Amino acid sequence: MGLPTTLDEWLARCERLHPKEIELGLGRVRTVKERLQVAFDCPVIVVAGTNGKGSTCAMLESIALRAGYRVGLYSKPHLVHFEERCRIDGRMATADELVPQFEAVEAARGDVPLTWFEFTLLVIARLLASQPLDLAILEVGMGGRLDAVNVFDGDCAVITSIALDHVEWLGPDRESIGREKAGVMRTGKPVVVSDPEPPHSVLEEALRVGADLRLLGRDFRIAAADPRQWTWAGREQRWHALGHPALRGANQLLNAAGVLAAFEALRERLPLSAQAVREGLALVELPGRFQIVPGQPALILDVAHNPHAVATLAANLDRMGYFPHTRAVFGAMRDKDVDEVLRRMAPLVDHWHFTDLPTPRAASAAVLATRHAALGLAGPGPVGVSVHATPSAALDAALEASDPADRIVVFGSFYTVGGVLANGLPRLRAPHLA
């Protein structure tokens, strides 16, 4: 059988190459990277952390683009299309650009059994490294020390908030997880930590490695003078009268602060104007992060899938004001702390629409409903529960049962939000256009 010729065929082939979906370690991917001679001729920012990585990458990209720089971005996971994982100058890579990179990685790997994630990282890295970039942004998937992205040395690392997730791989507490995230640090290179209370293990690793540690509250600070403006101050730079990031959510100022600290660390190679900073924050977009879809009922899409992120989601929902009823469309991987996620959202939810997801890693809708029943959680009033075969079916049922003044929140796995976005943004009632 010959090699694949389309992107979908290559992705399917990559799923069959390795017996495990996840196998931490850098040896395999480093070997193939060296055979491919993949290297970047521009500054590289590596972004690690539990929550806030996607928002941080999006703001880094948006500001750099407004400054006139040519930017390459590798991020994961995707919501709908694989091509979302690779952006070149603000646009998604095309299948035609990616397929030759799959062929090159396949030719170079020989008998090295790369996982799907390792193979596709090398594909995208090779494409980005072939472009005339001024900045490359690489988002770590899980952990840091043993994540495939760590075969690339960052000129600056950013570590966002650290919380409990992937505990079976990274460790049972924030200290263990922080130590893994800190594996992206490099001797003598700046590392920006935007978590306001980082684990001690992160600070200890920075000292051990000899990294240039930049901490929120010590090396850079934020002050919000009013709900519309804020100020950022770093070691040598200060930005006044900044508008809040276009990304909604309580933690976006912390993410933005880390972004500006990273640019300060690289200011000699990537100087910025105040206009680029303001425009970049004002125009940044990132689907699925407290994304509010216009129309009625209110519809919020959020990929929060661990207790820390869901607590932030609940706080953001509280700030939205009063809604007669809130319905939740929820699907998650079975290795997540589903019980704690349900506990944190329960006080807001009148009806749960649990959904199956198209991956063996997912907890079924029936299992989610069983977990919810076992916990005996109370809601704002009487609580309803239903199960659905797909996220889109769950959303359709929620829309059918909702009044215009109600609210629906779709959250959990990327598969959950991606499932309702697969055919574009849902079309809601818009009485003001009637």
Give the separation between CA 247 and CA 271, rounded to whole angstroms: 24
85-89, 95-99, 285-289, range with the lowest pLDDT: 285-289
Give the separation between CA 165 and CA 204, rounded to whole angstroms: 21
HEC readout, 42-109 = CCEEEEECCECHHHHHHHHHHHHHHCCCCEEEECCCCCCCHHHHEEECCEECCHHHHHHHHHHHHHHH
- Interatomic CA distance for residues 140 and 143, integer angstroms: 7
Q: What's the confidence (pLDDT) of residue 262?
A: 98
pLDDT digits (tens, 9 = 90+) for 100-117: 999 999 999 998 989 999
Mean pLDDT within 136-165: 87
Segment 161-188 shows an average pLDDT of 77
Q: Give me the mean pLDDT over the 399-417 stretch.
A: 95
Nearest residue to 38 (alpha-carbon basis) of 160, 124, 137: 124
Residue 171 pLDDT exceeds 60: no
Entry pTM? 0.88
What gap in Å lies between CA 125 and CA 120, rounded to an integer?
8
Rounded to 10 degrees, the C-alpha dihedral 77/78/82/86 comes to -80
pLDDT for 135: 98
Is the CB of residue 189 less than 8 Å from the CB of residue 163? Answer: no
At residue 306, the pLDDT reads 86
Structure tokens at 195: 């978590």
The per-residue pLDDT for 375 is: 96
Omega before 77 within 30 of 0, i.e. cis: yes
For residue 79, is pLDDT > 50? yes
pLDDT in the model for residue 424:
80
242 burial class (0-12, 13-18, 19+ CB within 10 angstroms)? Answer: buried
The pLDDT confidence band at residue 434, using thresholds 50, 70 and 90, is very low
On average, the pLDDT of the chain sits at: 91
Mean pLDDT of 336-345: 93
pLDDT at 166: 54
pLDDT in tens, 41-73: 999 999 998 888 999 999 999 999 999 999 999
Cα dihedral 129, 80, 116, 110 in deg (nearest 10): -50
Whose CA is closest to 51, among 250, 273, 332?
250
- Encode pLDDT of 125-143 as tens digits: 999 999 999 999 999 987 6
- The pLDDT confidence band at residue 432, using thresholds 50, 70 and 90, is very low
H and E: helices and strands count for the chain = 15, 17
Q: What is the pLDDT of residue 18?
A: 67
| Bridge partners for 333 per DSSP | 362
For residue 245, is the peptide bond before it cis, meaning its omega torsion is within 30 degrees of 0?
no
Confidence label for 144 from pLDDT (cuts 50, 70 and 90) = low
Under DSSP, the state recorded for 232 is E
Picking from 318, 323, 303, 321, the residue whose alpha carbon sits closest to that of residue 414 is 303
Would you state the structure tokens that stand for residue 285, as one six-digit string?
A: 């977009």
Superfamily of domain 7-283: Mur-like, catalytic domain (3.40.1190.10)
CB 137 within 8 A of CB 98: no
Label residue 429 by pLDDT band (50, 70, 90): low
433 pLDDT tier (thresholds 50, 70, 90):
very low
At residue 252, φ and ψ (nearest 5 deg) are: -70, -25
Query: Kind and range of the H or E element at 315?
Result: helix 307-318
For position 2, what pLDDT does the model report? 75
pLDDT in tens, 242-301: 999 998 876 899 999 999 999 999 999 999 999 999 999 999 988 888 999 989 999 999
Percent of the chain with pLDDT over 90: 72
User: Which residues lie closer than 8 Å to 327 by C-beta, 6 or more apart?
Assistant: 349, 350, 351, 352, 353, 398, 401, 402, 406, 407, 408, 409
Q: Start-end ranges of CATH 3.40.1190.10 in the chain?
A: 7-283
Please write down the HEC assignment for all residues of 383-416: CEEEEECCHHHHHHHHHHHCCCCCEEEEEECHHH
* Domain boundaries for CATH 3.90.190.20 within the chain: 291-433
Tell me the chain's radius of gyration from C-alpha atoms: 22
DSSP H or E segment with residue 192: strand 190-193
Q: Indicate the pLDDT class of residue 430, thresholds 50, 70 and 90.
A: low
pLDDT for 237 equals 95
Q: Please state which architecture CATH assigns to domain 291-433.
A: Alpha-Beta Complex (3.90)
C-beta separation of 186 from 151 below 8 A: no
Do 332 and 411 form a contact (C-beta atoms < 8 A)?
no
- In the structure, what pLDDT confidence band is assigned to residue 20 with cuts at 50, 70 and 90? low
